[in-house]
A and B are shown apart, each in its own frame.
Chain A
Amino acid sequence: RKEVEQDPGPFNVPEGATVAFNCTYSNSASQSFFWYRQDCRKEPKLLMSVYSSGNEDGRFTAQLNRASQYISLLIRDSKLSDSATYLCVVNTFSGGYNKLIFGAGTRLAVHP
């Protein structure tokens, strides 16, 4: 089983749609969680951290369920510029070191 698993995608949605991505992780000792965005042939960039109480940043809402080891990202009112690959990332502090485990990503394509 992969340590971080995501919906494979791609998700093809029209502008204005609401889309949700899911992610599960296997290590219950994981301490922090992030969503990164990666544009084609570019580096990953932090989209938002994910907090236990859930958090929102504009059109983006992230949720964490520690009991189910599940993370989600909701994008409302999708824009063409939201087209990218979204990476679920789990930070595990084990063996005294800080490690990020990346999901393979979910591709989103927003069309007019």
Chain B
Amino acid sequence: NAGVTQTPKFRVLKTGQSMTLLCAQDMNHEYMYWYRQDPGMGLRLIHYSVGEGTTAKGEVPDGYNVSRLKKQNFLLGLESAAPSQTSVYFCASSSDSPYQPQHFGDGTRLSIL
């Protein structure tokens, strides 16, 4: 049972470089989310999607872009990485019911030098 899969697991970038994080889910969920988690803080929502072809801003969207071209995939892009974006990134998905919990991928650890 794959669930939610994130790639890559680890990455080190230099300031100004760009990259894309991929999230894939096989549960046919409508909703998908990208979070970042920093020491001593709760997970913060970057962007989310309520269905294929739709995206919306979360709590901390600046410096990130997303796309949901296929229902099962949600991509997070960093156009010009900054040290402040060093974090652990989690993708999650859920059905469209507000009572259902979210299922998380195992995270991407990203360091920006």
Interface residues of A (CB under 8 A from B): 4, 31-32, 34, 36, 41-46, 49, 87, 89, 91, 93, 96-100, 102-105
A-B Cβ contacts below 8 A, count? 59
Minimum CB distance partner of B98 in chain A: A93
Chain B contact-residue range equals 20 to 34
Contacts A32-B99, A89-B101, A105-B42 known; 16 new A-B pairs at CB < 8 A: A31-B99, A32-B100, A41-B88, A43-B90, A44-B90, A45-B104, A49-B101, A87-B42, A91-B98, A91-B99, A96-B50, A98-B96, A98-B98, A100-B102, A102-B44, A104-B41
Would A104 and B40 be within 8 Å (CB), given that A98-B94, A98-B98, A99-B45 are in contact? yes
- Chain B residues lying within 8 Å of A31, measured Cβ to Cβ, are 98-99
- Chain A residues lying within 8 Å of B43, measured Cβ to Cβ, are 44, 87, 102
